[in-house]
Amino acid sequence: MTRQVDVVVVGSVNRDYVCRVGILPEPGETVLGGEASVGSGGKGGNQAVAASLLGARTALVARVGRDDDGRALVKDLADAWVDTSEVLPTPARTGMAFVMVDATGENSIVVAPGANELLEPRTTSRAVRALIRPPGVMVTQAEIPEDAFAAAVRAADEVGCRAVVNLAPFRPLADDLLALCDPLVVNESEAGGLLGHPVRGPEAARAAVAELAGRCRSVVVTVGAQGAVVGQGAHVEHVEAEPVTAVDTTGAGDAFTGALAAALSAGADLVDAVRLGVRAGTFAVQRHGAQASFARGAELGVGPLHERG
């Protein structure tokens, strides 16, 4: 019998190749970099680790290659207590992300999806159905094939669980899928892509949340260092972030989404879950790396959200 979990993440895993630079290069420009490093990433892997480190029993549904990068990714996930029974090897090369981080902590990322493109809808649907029951939470992102993404969202709805949908990177989303998002999690750029006009800053995010709230069950628009705006029904609230000095924004949005999902799976209401997500993202930007920067509960001043089985 499959072990039930609190959070199932359906998403991508990538080996991150990171180089620190003084400034990000312009098109056609070559710049000399500084420190280079290799780590574990991918939005799916990052969000699974973020949820697991806060105490949620978390499983990841993903694909890796039969190579050293794939084996390293699985080891790092297991070391963070993520159930990797659905992180399976394929003939394709493990996904890779090429990351540049400048002196202000901003980044530029190119992803070569590799094995992530082999994740199939029948797999994601079966895994979601097997792994969670209410009040469990399913999380997915747009770094996997569209049909696998859609199957995961629909399966979560069919078993009565929340679908936390992080539409990153942006792609158009059909109205029937948008209606199942609870919440839809987007940044300003992704919100603008959905609405067809720019969204910049908290006030514009408030207007975007009000507009999107009628199209999905709930919505969160993150506004970087200014926190996030959350909407559920007629209620719209801006959750502000504590001012900090950022050294690396890589993975901060994933820290937010993973913490949000973990809190929801433990019974938190959406606004309180967003508050924890904002704190998790703020913690992450003050440290280098993606998964290496994520907080344990004690580092956010909270106890484990679940008792580990």
Annotated catalytic residues are 254
What's the start-to-end Cα distance of the chain, in Å? 15
Is the previous residue joined to 25 through a cis bond, with omega within 30 degrees of 0? no
CA 262 to chain centre: 12
CB 50 within 8 A of CB 280: yes
Distance CA 70, CA 89 (A): 7
Distance CA 177, CA 154 (A): 8
In terms of Cα–Cα distance, which of 121, 126, 170, 127 is closest to 149? 121
The number of CA neighbours under 13 Å toward the Cβ of 290 is 33
Pairing between β-strand 228-232 and β-strand 58-65 as defined by DSSP bridges: unpaired
Q: Specify the length of the chain in residues.
A: 309
Determine the longest span between alpha carbons in the chain, in angstroms.
55
Task: Say what the alpha-carbon torsion angle 187, 139, 307, 286 is, to the nearest 10 degrees.
Answer: -30
